[in-house]
Amino acid sequence: MMGSGDKVLLNLGNAFFEIEEEEATELCEEEVSALQEKMDKLNEEQEDILEQQKELKAILYARFGKSINLEEK
């Protein structure tokens, strides 16, 4: 978003559109909100995957003992 006053230029992709500042601010806030929701969902998914990984490591260590190393180097 560039400019000030009643009209501002909003960059969408490779184009600029002249719209009201209030509308541009609203669009930016909606985009931020949508991206935050997506990040929250991905963080939850990451936590689930890490928990599954921890459970699988416990099973493998119980079966193979110290003969395997599943830790990152």
Q: Over the stretch 10-36, which tens digit does the pLDDT of each residue have?
A: 888 899 888 888 888 899 999 999 999
Residue 5: pLDDT band with limits 50, 70, 90: low
pLDDT on residue 39: 98
61 contacts: CB under 8 Å, gap ≥ 6: 68, 70
Give the pTM.
0.67
Mean pLDDT of 35-49: 98
Residue 24: exposure state from Cβ atoms within 10 A (0-12, 13-18, ≥19) = buried
The pLDDT of residue 32 is 96
Question: How far apart, in whole angstroms, are the C-alpha atoms of residue 27 and residue 52?
Answer: 38
